[in-house]
Structures are given as structure tokens and as C-alpha cells.
Structure 1
């Protein structure tokens, strides 16, 4: 799934037009006022799922108790406020695109309307929210996919050989705050990679591992940018006939990713900052 922020005057209007222009299922996450009205910069979040621009579900939070209301073509939930990342992650397993309306501080690629200078990566800047969308669609399609463990598992379950599979094995690597109780706490890790080389190498590893007997699908994904302690970094997912080949292939997948893919890690602790490869 490709996930981007749309921010600036007319962001909601542009998001609606992009939802019509993008192929596949499109989810929209909006920042709404406390009274459920138009965006006002308040912290409450709503999300909608659209296929060909048609609303298929909404989420809004009002109380501390969680309630789901299910209809034939829509659903609602009330409960503790989700973060933007929570909402995007909920869309990832079965959507092709997610558009976050507002949220200029979010750590996602951004389409900016007007002259604002939000932090992070700006993939496109437009003067008119009612202007052409073709270039914006192309820019969104070129962003790095937003993946979660759940979205990768959902993807392999849709594989042609899924009915022959009796096992899905996964590995999740996360940011460890400290090795020992007395260590300085790691505040975050920052990852950089040679984009084309890293992506090509990961796809090659996936293809090679998937040729093993009894292995049907392999997916590798490594996040880049700043990742705070406690968050997930890397995923390996294997669809296989039986657990033995699934477990073995997961272990080989993460070992080969770490050994063969050009990804560089900066560690920021409470007392220092350093590139990990310079100390190895």
C-alpha cells in the first residue's frame, strides 16, 4: 500500500479527487474537530475506505468504551483515539492506497497545496487542489510501500498456491531500547539504503528462497527513516507447505537480508550518536 499525507488549503477536496483517480482500494484518514465537524487541527481521527471513490466504512472515536456498529456496506466504531499510524496500519492489509488529510507533522510522504513547508519528504507541490491529478497519481505510485506484518501476511495468503500451504512463518525485528539494564537507552534508530540496489536485492532474495521445495511465497520488508524504540523495523513472511521449511526459510531470509542488502543504521542513545557499521 502507498500512504501519503495531503495537506494545505483544499486538502480534503484534493483527497477526494485523488481517491477517484487512484487505482484499487483507497482509504482516507481525516483529522476532524471534537464535534465531528470539518478538519480543525484537533486530534481526533476518522478513516474511510473507498473503492473507486465510494465510501465503504468510517471510524470515529468519542468515548473510552469500544463499540462496533456493523452494516451491510459500512461500519462505525467508538473507542480510545487511534493514532494516525494506527489508522494507516488498519488499512494496509486490504488497501492499495491511503490518503491522510491534514497531519503535516506526520512521518509520511506529503503532497502539499500552497507554500507551506512541512517537515519530511514532499513528493509533490500544487497551487490548485482542483488542478490535474495525473502527475500526483504517478508521484504517489513511486513512493516506498507502507507495509506491516499483517499486510504482508494478507498478501501471501492471496497467492495462487495458498491452498497448498499449511504454514505461514514470520519474523519481526524491532528497535531494542537496551541490551542490558545498565545500558544507555536507545532513543531511535535511523536507517538509510541505496533505494534501487536494496529493493532489487531484496526481490532477488525473495525469488531465490521461493524456489525451495515446499516454499510458495517469501516477502521481505525493511523500513527506512527514523524509527523510535519499541517500533517494528523489519519483517520476513514465508508461505510454505509445512512448518519445517517455513521456519528454516524465515531464518535464512532475515540472515541474508542483513548480510546482503545495503542498509545502513544510525543509533541515537541518551548519550551518543553513531553509525553502527563504523563500529563493527
Structure 2
């Protein structure tokens, strides 16, 4: 899933731009949106759904003739992005969340990190400007969850020949003997790493009985217990599946140029030689 954030001052034209982007992106794939609405109570106490939440429900769904709404307490931006990714979205357009580290299209003179484009106004925006924004969105890194990768595998037309889908999730190990790890930080040459992962996927899909392989390795700082690596394989038979999963795990570790820095309770260090 490609993600872009549209930010700016109030009444700067954010919603108008989001509408334009969604309209064009919907021609290329499925689009989800997230709107930052601080101070808005979408599920007030007086409603039935509000009463259910107050009674202790951890999730409430309202289903009408026109659509459905899901209410979850304490949802943050990451959870919202995960919801869209797990729903199979190809694109996510986020309005607001100025403090996030998402790639941003900024409207006006607001100064923020992670800027990828800036517009003075959305009024009478030229076609070439919109085309350039769409190109920028396509250049953003993919955002995946385990469920989103499984969903992509299930969409493969060859899934009818599959007898099994298996996955591997690598996480940050907190305790190794007496050492306690707080977090890991991963760096990579993004294009080189992506090409190497693509090569591994292609090689494994050429093996007998392997119908699809999806690999995603997160980079940046990842806290103890959080996910690092996802591998999903669809195969005709379980024996083929287990072998492909094992091969993928070992090849990612051996071949993909990703470097790991470990933060422990006693210090920090690079696990491999860092270029």
C-alpha cells in the first residue's frame, strides 16, 4: 500500500486535494482515506454504540443500509493504516497528522519534515501538477502487514491450485540470555534491497508447486516484540510450502543488504559491519 499525507493549515484546501487524489488513484487501484479529526466525538455516550463501548466492548460495528462503521477505543494512526492495509487497499490518502513521519504534500507555508511536494493552492490546479503528485505517490515505499500480504496472495489467480498458505513473522527478541534488547534499527540501500528481495521471490516461485511468494522487511527503528519480517508462501502441498519458507528466511538473512543496530539496556552496537 502506497501512503501519502496531505497537510496544511485549516481551510487551506486539504479536503479538495484529497478528493482529487482519490478520484485519480481509484482509476489505478483500491483507495482508502484517513482523516485526522481531533476533538470530534464520532461515538457519543448517548448513542447505542456509545453505550456498548462504555459497557466494555472493545469493538463496536454499526451496520446500516448505506454502509458500516467500526468504533475502536484509543485507535492511533498506525492502527488506522493497518486497517486499510488489511482491507487490501493499494493506496492510503491521509488528511492531517502533521506530526507524523508520513511523506507529506504540504499546502501553504507550513514547515514540516518529510515533505515530498508543496502547493500554494489547490484552486485551478493544472493537470501536469496533479500528474506530478500521482507520480510522487507511486514512488513511495510499500506499507505491508502480514494480513495484507496474505490478502495479496489470495488474490493471485493461481490460488485455485494451492493446498496451503504459510507465513513467517520475524520479531524483535527482547531477551537473549542475560541481555535485554530494547529495540533494533535497520538500514538498507532501499533499491538494492528491494531488487534482491524481488529476485528471491522470483527464484522461489520457479520451484515446483510454489504458486506465490511475498516478502517484506521493515526498516527503521523497531521496538522489542514488534514485527521485522513477513514472508508468505502459497504452495500446492505443505512439504513444498515448508521448504520454500525455510529457503526464503535463510536467503533474506544471507543476501539482502540490510544492516542491524541493536539497542540494549547496557549500550548500542551494529550487529554487522555497517558501510
* TM-score of the pair, normalised by structure 2: 0.85
Gaps of 5+ in 1: 38-43, 45-60
Tell me how far 1:107 sits from its aligned partner.
Answer: 3.1
Moved more, 244-253 or 188-197: 188-197
| 1:81 paired to 2:74 | yes
Q: Write the distance in 2 (CA, Å) between the matches of 1:224 and 1:271.
A: 23
Gaps of 5+ in 2: 44-51
Q: 1:220 aligns with which of 205, 215, 221?
A: 215
Tell me how far 1:227 sits from its aligned partner.
Answer: 1.8
Tell me how far 1:26 sits from its aligned partner.
Answer: 1.1
Aligned residue number for residue 4 of structure 1: 4
The 5-angstrom pairing of residues 119-268 of structure 1 reads: 119=113, 121-130=114-123, 131=125, 132-180=129-177, 182-186=178-182, 188-268=183-263
Higher RCO structure (Cα 8 Å, ≥6 apart): 2
Residues 276 and 118 from structure 1, CA distance in 2 versus in 1: closer, same or farther, beyond 3 angstroms? farther
Secondary structure of the residue aligned to 1:161 is helix
Aligned residues: 254
Tell me how far 1:73 sits from its aligned partner.
Answer: 4.7
Q: Write the distance in 1 (CA, Å) between the matches of 2:82 and 2:72.
A: 17
Q: 2:23 aligns with which of 20, 25, 37?
A: 20
Tell me how far 1:231 sits from its aligned partner.
Answer: 1.6
Q: Write the distance in 2 (CA, Å) between the matches of 1:254 and 1:27.
A: 31
Structure having the larger proportion of residues in helix: 2
Tell me how far 1:211 sits from its aligned partner.
Answer: 1.0
Q: 1:115 aligns with which of 96, 109, 114?
A: 109
Residues 227 and 114 from structure 1, CA distance in 2 versus in 1: closer, same or farther, beyond 3 angstroms? farther
Tell me how far 1:273 sits from its aligned partner.
Answer: 2.4
Secondary structure of the residue aligned to 1:278 is coil
Q: Write the distance in 2 (CA, Å) between the matches of 1:2 and 1:230.
A: 25
Larger Rg: 2
